């Protein structure tokens, strides 16, 4: 983002210009995948209701979801907050995790598959309907131009 | 006729006093107070309810004089069929409802037979009846009792309930309107096809105040920058969105930005945000203004606003704003004042907040622009005259 807009704005602020600058910068960063982030998908969950008719928002949200659908099933470092018996507690936790792994790996890999399938179904529906709407808009535009010529 | 010879009744489901918080209620009360200042005789009719979730009759019924207004408190009907109301509400929210569900929703909404009886017996004594906000059974039935002298302060939002046929009828029957903004008036014209000339854009005057952000920070031992929101905490006001955005912002940017909340209502704060949200609940006005003055920005994430009192207050405190772009009213204020920015999605919010955090000169300039806008357009002197014009029309 260029700082120039905001330096000029400090004295006689033009909020419209600043917001337009930010929107352009966000659009550019989006193209580069800067916001393909599960954390953003979570943050936008309530915004969907506000923006359900915004075509671009849905595409952006689906992009963020790509990152969110994969449940992390890898091993992770096991900690213990309590000082007393921490070594013992960590060993117990590690043992429980090893015993559960057999079951949870299977469960979560299936869940990941389902999530990915559902997301690709939603994405293909979105693409299909966007294309349909684009074609219908073209047809309307052509019909309107014919009417104008008459 | 002069205001001196006129008797005006104001009707609102709740009366803004103490912990009874609400923009529409505050607006109606302030208009009533300034009608008294203009020389009108004013009577305020309201219910004994304080809480807008339970609608329990918490206040004693009867009359009290509050700041020169005679306020009559009437009990809310306790025989509402709440499950039937909620079922109808769900259908209406989805946009698929029957005329019967619409009637059920109005009938089992917040109503007061005692208030309606008073209006039937004493309605002739009032020259004008000012009612609002539009969304309550009580306001609908009260407005339809004497529509020829009813002036509505609808506080209209673009929401599913606004599409009830009953409200279309009400908007086309009453004598006139006092809208809060041009955007609200345009929405009413678009939804109900009423004639724009029967309406006036009045809004509410704002009294200037002194605020001290530094003393607020000291009192609450706040050294980190913070966002501020004040008002009812509920999904319709966008508070869950604000909490989600703050969590993502802190996580993604690593910046320790906190959130100060004042107002009423439940607020589910995630464990990740524990310690980063300072929930003060209901506070005195001075404390709220100080909190606003100390904030990096006042964030108003609601998409359903007809005026935005707290936004204007934050500008009077010299603090810039971040608002949701889907709220035409709040965005309109920001565009006209240059006192704030509007975001449509999280990335825009992130960029705007970072900009305010990193650019103190811009933050101050935006806060000052907002303050100038409020002082110029929302002084009580000009609002009072607009209100008199609307009442005398």
CATH code assigned at B371: 3.40.50.2000
Q: How confident is the model at residue B3 (pLDDT cuts 50, 70, 90)?
A: low
Q: Is the same domain home to B199 and B241? A: no
Q: Is the same domain home to B19 and B156? A: yes
> Does A145 score more than 90 pLDDT?
no
ipTM: 0.81
Q: Please name the member of A1, A40, A51 whose beta carbon is closest to the beta carbon of B326.
A: A51
Record: contact A26-B335, CB cut-off 8 A: no
Does the beta carbon of A41 lie under 8 angstroms from any beta carbon of chain B?
no
Q: How confident is the model at residue B171 (pLDDT cuts 50, 70, 90)?
A: very high
Backbone angles phi, psi at B46, to 5 degrees: -150, -175
Q: Is the same domain home to B201 and B225? A: no
Chain B residues with beta carbon closer than 8 angstroms to that of A48: none
Q: Is the same domain home to B119 and B195? A: yes
Q: Please name the member of A9, A19, A35 whose beta carbon is closest to the beta carbon of B347.
A: A35
Q: What is the pLDDT of residue A1?
A: 39
CA distance B36 to B56: 29
CA distance, residue A119 to nearest chain B CA (Å): 21
Q: Is the same domain home to B312 and B188? A: no
Q: Is the same domain home to B180 and B52? A: yes
Beta-sheet pairing, B62-66 with B41-47 = unpaired
> Does B195 score more than 80 pLDDT?
no
Record: contact B351-A22, CB cut-off 8 A: yes
CA distance, residue A57 to nearest chain B CA (Å): 8
**Mean pLDDT of the residues in chain B:** 92
Strand, coil or helix: B391? helix
CA distance, residue A116 to nearest chain B CA (Å): 23
Q: Is the same domain home to B136 and B233? A: no
- Three-state secondary structure of chain A: CCCHHHHHHCCCCCHHHHHHHHHHHHHHHHHCCCCCCHHHHHHCCCHHHHCCCCHHHHHHHHHHHHHHCCCCCCCCCCCCCCCCCHHHHHHHHHHHHHHHHHHHHHHHHHHHHHHHHHHHHHHHHHHHHHHHHHHHHHHHHHHHHHHHHC
Q: Is the same domain home to B104 and B221? A: no
Record: contact B345-A19, CB cut-off 8 A: no
Q: What is the pLDDT of residue A11?
A: 52
CA distance, residue B338 to nearest chain A CA (Å): 5
Give CA angle at B365 (B363, B371), nearest 5°. 105
Q: Is the same domain home to B242 and B267? A: yes
Q: How confident is the model at residue A101 (pLDDT cuts 50, 70, 90)?
A: confident
Q: Is the same domain home to B199 and B227? A: no
Q: Is the same domain home to B304 and B361? A: yes
Q: What is the pLDDT of residue B4?
A: 66
pLDDT tens profile A56-71: 777 788 877 877 787 7
Q: Is the same domain home to B10 and B74? A: yes
Q: Please name the member of A13, A40, A57 whose beta carbon is closest to the beta carbon of B365.
A: A13
**Out of A36-50, B50-64, B128-142, B149-163, which region has the weakest mean confidence (pLDDT)?**
A36-50
Does the beta carbon of A15 lie under 8 angstroms from any beta carbon of chain B?
yes
Record: contact A15-B348, CB cut-off 8 A: no
Our count of domains for chain B comes to: 2
Nearest residue of B to residue A6 by CA position?
Answer: B362
Q: Please name the member of A9, A25, A42 whose beta carbon is closest to the beta carbon of B362.
A: A9
Domain encompassing residue B189: 3-205+380-392
CA distance, residue A82 to nearest chain B CA (Å): 19
Chain A residues with beta carbon closer than 8 angstroms to that of B345: 26, 44, 47, 51, 57, 60
pLDDT tens profile B124-166: 999 999 999 999 999 999 999 999 999 999 999 888 899 999 9
Q: Please name the residues in contact with B4: beta carbons below 8 A apart, sequence gap of 6 or more.
A: B39, B40
pLDDT tens profile B376-386: 999 898 899 99
């Amino acid at each position: 983002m260029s700082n120039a807009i905001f330096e000029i704005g400090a004295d006689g602020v033009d909020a419209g210009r600043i917001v337009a600058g930010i929107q352009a910068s966000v659009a550019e960063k989006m193209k580069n995948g800067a916001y393909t982030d599960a954390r953003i998908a979570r943050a936008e969950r309530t915004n969907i209701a506000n923006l359900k008719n915004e075509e671009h928002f849905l595409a952006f949200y689906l992009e963020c979801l790509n990152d969110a659908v994969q449940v992390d099933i890898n091993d992770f470092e096991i900690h213990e907050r309590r000082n007393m018996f921490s070594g013992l507690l960590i060993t117990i936790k590690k043992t429980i995790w090893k015993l559960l792994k057999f079951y949870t790996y299977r469960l979560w890999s299936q869940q990941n598959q389902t999530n990915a399938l559902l997301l690709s179904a939603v994405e293909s529906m979105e693409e299909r309907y966007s294309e349909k709407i684009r074609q219908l808009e073209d047809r309307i535009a052509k019909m309107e131009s014919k009417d104008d010529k008459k | 006729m002069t205001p001196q010879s006129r008797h005006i009744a104001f009707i609102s489901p709740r009366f803004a006093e103490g912990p009874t918080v609400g923009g529409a209620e505050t607006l109606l009360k302030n208009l009533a107070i300034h009608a008294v200042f203009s020389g009108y005789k004013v009577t305020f009719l309201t219910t004994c309810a304080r809480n807008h979730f339970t609608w329990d009759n918490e206040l004693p019924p009867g009359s009290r004089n509050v700041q020169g207004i005679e306020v009559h408190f009437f009990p809310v009907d306790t025989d509402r069929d709440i499950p039937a109301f909620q079922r109808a509400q769900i259908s209406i929210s989805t946009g698929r409802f029957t005329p019967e569900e619409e009637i059920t929703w109005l009938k089992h909404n917040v109503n007061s037979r005692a208030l309606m009886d008073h209006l039937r017996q004493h309605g002739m004594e009032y020259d004008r009846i000012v009612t609002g906000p539009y969304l309550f059974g009580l306001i609908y039935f009260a407005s339809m009792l004497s529509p020829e002298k009813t002036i509505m302060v609808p506080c209209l939002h673009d929401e599913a309930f606004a599409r009830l046929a009953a409200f279309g009828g009400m908007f086309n029957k009453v004598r006139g309107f006092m809208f809060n903004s041009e955007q609200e008036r345009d929405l009413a014209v678009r939804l109900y096809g009423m004639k724009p000339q029967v309406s006036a854009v009045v809004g509410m005057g704002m009294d200037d105040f002194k605020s001290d952000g530094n003393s607020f920070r000291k009192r609450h031992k706040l050294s980190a920058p913070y966002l501020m929101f004040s008002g009812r905490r509920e999904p319709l006001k966008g508070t869950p969105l604000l909490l989600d955005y703050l969590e993502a912002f802190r996580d993604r940017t690593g910046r320790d930005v906190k959130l100060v909340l004042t107002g009423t209502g439940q607020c589910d704060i995630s464990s990740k945000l524990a310690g980063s949200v300072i929930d003060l609940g209901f506070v005195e006005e001075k404390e709220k203004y100080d909190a606003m003055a100390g904030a990096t920005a006042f964030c108003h994430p609601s998409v359903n606003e007809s005026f935005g009192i707290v936004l204007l207050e934050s500008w009077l405190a010299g603090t810039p704003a971040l608002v949701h772009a889907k709220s035409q009213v709040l965005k309109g204020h920001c565009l006209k004042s240059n006192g704030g920015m509007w975001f449509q999605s999280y990335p825009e919010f992130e960029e705007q907040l970072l900009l305010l955090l990193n650019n103190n000169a811009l933050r101050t300039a935006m806060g000052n622009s907002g303050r100038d806008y409020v002082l110029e357009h929302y002084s009580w002197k000009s609002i009072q005259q607009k209100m008199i014009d609307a009442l005398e029309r």
